[in-house]
A = this chain, B = another copy of it.
Amino acid sequence: MVYSNILKNLHKHISLTQEEEEYFLSLLKYQEVSKKDVVLHQGEVCKHLYFVNSGLLRAFFTGQETKEATIMFAMEDWWITDMHCFLQQSAAMVSIQAVEASTLLKLSKHDLDSLYSTVPAFERFFRILMQNAYVREQVRVLENLSLPAEVRYTNFMKKYPQIVQQVTQKQIASYLGITPEFLSAIRATKRL
A contacts, CB < 8 Å to B = 61, 63, 67, 69, 71-72, 83-84, 87, 93-94, 116, 120, 123-124, 126-127, 130-131, 133-135, 137-142, 144-147, 174, 177
Contact = CB atoms under 8 A, between A and B. Distances in A.
A137 B141 contact: yes
A159 to B, nearest CB: 14
Contacts of A123: 120, 123-124, 127
A174 B124 CA distance: 35
B139 A93 contact: yes
Given A123-B127, A127-B130, A130-B127, A135 B69 contact: no
A83 B138 contact: yes
A174 B137 CA distance: 17
Dominant SS at the A interface?
A: helix
Contact of A87 (B63, B126, B131): B131
A67 to B, nearest CB: 7
Given A83-B131, A123-B123, A130-B127, A63 B146 contact: yes
A144 B144 contact: yes
Residue picked from A93, A124, A145, most chain B C-beta under 10 Å: A145
Given A123-B120, A123-B127, A177-B144, A139 B84 contact: yes
B83 A146 contact: no
Contacts of A139: 84, 93
A71 B127 contact: no
Contacts of A131: 83, 87, 126, 130
B87 A145 contact: no
Contacts of A174: 145
B71 A142 contact: yes
Contacts of A137: 134, 137-138, 140-141
